[in-house]
Structure 1
Amino acid sequence: MTDNAATANAALSYRERDIASVLHPQTNALKHLSVGPTIITGSNGVFVTDDTGKQYLDSGAGLWCASLGYHNERLAKVAYKAMSELGYFQIFRHASHKAAIDLSERLLEIAPVEMSKVLLQCSGSEANDTGVKIVWYYWNALGKPERRKIITRMGSYHGSTCVATSMTGNGAYHRSFGLPFSEFLHTDLPNHYRNALPGETEQEFSSRLADSLERMILAEGPETIAAFWADPVQGNAGALPPPAGYFEKVQAVLKKYGILFVADEVICGFGRTGEMWGCQTYDLKPDMIACAKGLSSGMQPISALLINDKIFEVLRDESNRLGAFVHGFTYAGHPVATAVALETLKIYEEMDIVAQVQSVEGTFLQNLDDLSSHPLVGATSGCGLIGGLELVMNKESKAPFPAEANLIGTIDKYAQQFGIILRVVPNRIAYSPSLIIDEAGLDEMARRTRQVLDATLNELKRFVR
């Protein structure tokens, strides 16, 4: 950049500079050129502040990750100390450092089921993508390369790499990218409210979905199925918990056909569901666990893939046969990220994060239930501090709003007005507030949500019938 260009650029506002230079994820690129960004400049607990001084209560902890809120002096000091002592080193080819070792040991100690090794990565997407590679590596090493197909669920989100996007059961992530890849299959969305047959109980619904999964496996050929992936609570489906009996029945099918099971705990791990892991909340027994987000309270980009001994023994022997396990990312196991993550886990232990979530869970769920009386809310569901409202145009028919109603855009507009950040995916408002939120904060979140719903109803009343 020339001196003249730099001077001219400095004269522009941050909004203008953003429009001129930044391509935003999950954003309408054309619309952004006219509406511009909301620029966040500060935070206080569960609130963030924009550059006009307006405060917003963030009901989603950023992208499900800011468990301890948006600033933490203790973690800042740990990051500074770590960067001062060892700003970077890799963990390739037998190299290591203390924070990577300490963090891996701690994750194995608190794992919901017995695990053997931890592979540190940089994001949830990387953890899931790597998990697929290891699944394929495992079956190839066992002489069964035909076991390539990965099954996930409609409504699930597993990341933004090409493989993780292929795993994601949402067509919006696939369009114009030439995805998903052909070896990725998507079974039924376990939304009882939306997809149950008339009079069908949750247990009966779960049995029907498990039978549907088994039919898919038999149609594809069990000998071609490598693994089944599931997030304990489906974030992208609107913070949707599973129906009663679902995972018990699904795991029985997987066991019957020798299919590996991977739990995507990227959103649910570290207290979100009212237990340390979603696996504990729903009694899951996975072969691998992917975790991220709450691992560092969003303060550093880090993730981990926990691997059981059955898989590690095969990986160990295959890497010896080939000379190395040829996989890795430059910043995996970064000294600063691992130090911050380790300290985050210490903070969770000291404050008893599970007890903290359980102490406010009743208020959170009661507030959701109270909102079910609103004309736009068809049903509510949740656990711990994750859950959502199912939005409908008609309570009796459960009909969703048509695209022309612009439900998401309308809610976003009024959420901005009333100072609350709401996540609508796809016809549900999904909540996952910071785990430090108190009962007063939850009440305020519900109050502002009702204001948004009232204003949205008034604007879209021509659709409601």
Structure 2
Amino acid sequence: MSQIPNSLHGQDIANILHPYTNAVRHQEVGPIVIERGEGIRVYDDTGKDYIEAMAGLWSVAVGFSEPRLVEAATRQLNALPYYHTFTHKSNEPSIRLAERLVAMSPARLSKVFFTNSGSEANDTVVKLLWYYNNAMGRPERKKIISRRRAYHGITVASGSLTGLPVNQQDFDLPIAGVRHLTCPHFYREGREGETEEAFAKRLADEFEALVLAEGPETIAGFIGEPLMAAGGVVPPPATYWQKMQAVCRKYGIMLVADEVITGFGRLGRTFGSDYYGIDPDIMVVSKQLTSSYQPLAAVLISDELFEGVAANSARIGMFGHGFTTSGHPVATAVALANLDIIEERGLVANAAAMGEILQKGLASYADHPLVGEVRGAGLIGAIELVSDKAGKTPFDPVGKAGRYLFERGHEHGLIIRAIGDTIAFCPPLIITQSDVADMLARFGRALDDTATYLRAGA
């Protein structure tokens, strides 16, 4: 990555510890300084344009220059720039947004708790499950089951639910009471001769066996992304969610759908739960809720969970959990405007239509010698690079090819995500057919550069 010869470059190196970054390497190469956005593109401080093929961080639905969201924030800042929702206080945007989320979400969900991020939301889920089971006289029912390669956040509790080593190594995670199942990645975890449905049955059997080994009376919840994203873009195998949900219902385990990335149209349906036929007891949303113009997340819960929590709050005297900016009026006002735009412009339908084009375009690279698997659904997709197609052999070290392709993407005006040697795509929902073609063409040039680099024996 080329260095940026200006004062901001040096200031950034001196003062900022960047998330998800090799801090030592950052001291050497510095940042790309992004100055403005327009539609699906962003521009750095030299004027160079990039197609933002990751929608920022899987999160910008309406693009990087939507004036209606700026106007909604400005109106609310002028009227009520901040107020809290503690001790019987509220504000109109948070009331209206909660009502709207309940109306559009799966039927089981009836109440909303607001946080600032998906990490805080999943942290809240853990606390709600513990609190609820204590209230119901089941203090032993506290364990939560997640999956390897899952991503549910980076706080102490949500980082424990996450199943990625980089988020746990040397942070002393996971905490006690969290268990992880096999990642539902058929390409990597399926056995020779096994069908997707047989693979799904094996994973559900593994889930049930773990429940029985731990004791069903000790398991509070099972959490999963409808489609895994940050773990490498992993769509579940056929019938997976039906089988996993059946185990939850059999043993009274609450099912948590982490829709932080899949919510609000990413898969061409309003929620990933709609796409895969999931009926959750708890659903977590964020990112595309405001197109990340404001930090906001929400936990939607069932009546059953709410009633237990509410009764316990009366017994104790209050529900002792919340954040200074829970239900922030500016963030919730922006979310309402964002949801209006998604609905008015038919962006869920656009995601379905453009998603078909994206998936076909990605599949056109399947025969490339570096490509092991192409996968995805809707407007989220991935290409996994391998050193040997027949053997599905990863590069040594893992990430060598992905990192190079990621950096070549910048040279060709494309921002993608390298997850090891898997290249992820998750463009804004406003993307057009010509945009998809341009994005894939830029990727193709970066992929060819990578092939040349690797053939040279790098």
TM-score if structure 1 supplies the norm length?
0.95
Tell me if the contact between 1:405 and 1:460 (Cα under 8 Å) persists in the aligned partners.
no
Say whether 1:123 aligns with 2:107: no
CA gap of 1:350–1:404, structure 2 versus 1, over 3 A, is closer
Tell me if the contact between 2:370 and 2:386 (Cα under 8 Å) persists in the aligned partners.
yes
- Deviation at residue 462 of structure 1 after TM alignment: 6.2
Which structure 2 residues correspond to residues 285-434 of structure 1 after superposition, within 5 A? 285-403=279-397, 406-434=400-428
C-alpha separation in 2, matches of 1:12 and 1:106: 46
C-alpha separation in 2, matches of 1:444 and 1:187: 39
Which structure 2 residues correspond to residues 247-286 of structure 1 after superposition, within 5 A? 247-286=241-280
Quick check: 245-254 or 400-409, which moved more?
400-409
RMSD: 1.4
Deviations 1:369-393 (Å, cap 9, x if unpaired)?
1011211111112111012112211
Tell me if the contact between 2:398 and 2:421 (Cα under 8 Å) persists in the aligned partners.
no
Deviations 1:283-330 (Å, cap 9, x if unpaired)?
001101000000001110001000110101111111111111110000
Give runs of ≥4 in structure 1 deviating > 2 Å: 461-464
The equivalent of 1:6 in structure 2 is: none
Decide which of 153, 158, 163 is 1:159's aligned counterpart: 153
The equivalent of 1:7 in structure 2 is: none
List runs of 5+ in structure 1 lacking aligned partners: 1-10
Say whether 1:437 aligns with 2:442: no
Tell me if the contact between 1:60 and 1:430 (Cα under 8 Å) persists in the aligned partners.
yes
Tell me if the contact between 1:385 and 1:435 (Cα under 8 Å) persists in the aligned partners.
yes
Deviations 1:398-431 (Å, cap 9, x if unpaired)?
0111117722321122111111111111332111
Tell me if the contact between 1:241 and 1:387 (Cα under 8 Å) persists in the aligned partners.
no
C-alpha separation in 2, matches of 1:414 and 1:12: 22
C-alpha separation in 2, matches of 1:404 and 1:340: 40
Structure 2 counterpart of 1:460, one-letter code: L
Tell me, what secondary structure is at the counterpart of 2:363?
Answer: helix
Question: How high is the sequence identity, in percent, across the aligned residues?
Answer: 44
Decide which of 79, 86, 95 is 1:101's aligned counterpart: 95
Decide which of 176, 193, 196 is 1:199's aligned counterpart: 193
- Deviation at residue 461 of structure 1 after TM alignment: 2.5
CA gap of 1:401–1:216, structure 2 versus 1, over 3 A, is same
Tell me if the contact between 1:155 and 1:170 (Cα under 8 Å) persists in the aligned partners.
yes
Tell me, what secondary structure is at the counterpart of 1:460?
Answer: helix
Say whether 1:80 aligns with 2:74: yes
C-alpha separation in 2, matches of 1:116 and 1:352: 25
C-alpha separation in 1, matches of 2:308 and 2:115: 21
The equivalent of 1:22 in structure 2 is: 16
Deviations 1:139-197 (Å, cap 9, x if unpaired)?
11111111111111111100111111100001111111111112111100000011111
C-alpha separation in 2, matches of 1:302 and 1:56: 26
Deviations 1:239-284 (Å, cap 9, x if unpaired)?
2111101001111111111111100000000000110000000000
- Deviation at residue 211 of structure 1 after TM alignment: 0.7
Quick check: 432-441 or 396-405, which moved more?
396-405
Say whether 1:58 aligns with 2:60: no
